Structure 1
């Protein structure tokens, strides 16, 4: 089986850390070229 990406959410992660992680993911998507996500 392929191994899932190592995302440390299980141990010692606070809600604030999770929000920061989500914010980083959203920022990464926001920096994609416009034609990738349909936003001008």
Structure 2
């Protein structure tokens, strides 16, 4: 968390409680950018 409360985070990184993997064996993680919430 940023020390300066005026700083806006670039986005969120979401990870499931239980690791999920795609067909290539890579972990599935979702990234949502702040600019996507503005719309």
Same-fold status (TM-score > 0.5): no
- Larger strand share, 1 or 2: 2
TM-score of the two chains, using structure 1 as the length reference: 0.25
TM-score by length of 2: 0.26
Flag the structure with higher helix content. 1
